[in-house]
Structure 1
């Protein structure tokens, strides 16, 4: 089974979540997602006024796939990487910015939001989010004791019969 490349939890998750909330407020975008490069949503925020979001798991998978294809194009053109992607339609825009080698910050917004504001505010937040993700690389993996596993199994048996 494919698993996310990052385990974003606890204090690190809360700090990333606050940065996404800040970005949402500073830019006026509808949706803000932090996606790993395998296509898993690590964190997301949406504006209170935003309409029902698209299927975020599908968006994450397609964004990660597109980033992989874009990386291959960059390589073919002699670039190490292209750090951002912009997909602009008549009514909406999808902006994707790399957060180091681990994740992609994805923003979805309508035509009323200036792209320049989104880019400036995103660059401010990316440095902070990248630092949090870098901390996670050095963190030891979460270890559950045998008692936890037995307790969880017993709870599931009780719930599911």
Structure 2
């Protein structure tokens, strides 16, 4: 089973959420997502006035897939990476910017929001998010021993009969 490449929880999750919310508040973006490179939504926020969001899991999967394809294109053209992607339609824009090698900041907004403003504030937010994600690299992975499994099984047996 494929699992997210990052475990975002507790204080780190709250700080990421706060930075994304600040970005939405200052720019007028409808939806902000932090997506890992495997296509999992790590965090998401939406503006209070935003209409019903698209299927965020599907957006995340497609954004991660597109980022992988774009990375291959960058490599073919002699670039290390392309750090941002912009998809503009008549009524809406999808803006994706890399947060280091670990995640993608994905913003969805309508034509009333200036792209330049989004790019300026998104870059500031990316720096903040990257710092939080870098902190998580130093946290050791939780190791659950065999006695945890046996204890959990016993508790479930007692609970469910």
Q: TM-score, normalised by structure 2?
A: 0.92
Please give the root-mean-square deviation of Cα atoms over the aligned residues, in Å.
1.8
SS of the equivalent of 1:34 reads: strand
* Offset at residue 155 of structure 1 (A): 6.0
Gaps of 5+ in 1: none
- Once residues 155 and 28 of structure 2 are traced to their aligned partners in structure 1, the CA distance between those partners, rounded to angstroms, is 43
* Offset at residue 148 of structure 1 (A): 5.3
Q: Does residue 32 in structure 1 map to residue 42 in structure 2?
A: no
* Offset at residue 149 of structure 1 (A): 4.3
Gaps of 5+ in 2: none
- Once residues 157 and 53 of structure 1 are traced to their aligned partners in structure 2, the CA distance between those partners, rounded to angstroms, is 40
Change (3 A) 1:149 1:128: same
Q: Which residue is equivalent to 1:142?
A: 142
- Once residues 53 and 160 of structure 2 are traced to their aligned partners in structure 1, the CA distance between those partners, rounded to angstroms, is 31
* Offset at residue 138 of structure 1 (A): 1.2
- Once residues 133 and 149 of structure 1 are traced to their aligned partners in structure 2, the CA distance between those partners, rounded to angstroms, is 29
Change (3 A) 1:64 1:147: same
- Once residues 159 and 37 of structure 2 are traced to their aligned partners in structure 1, the CA distance between those partners, rounded to angstroms, is 35
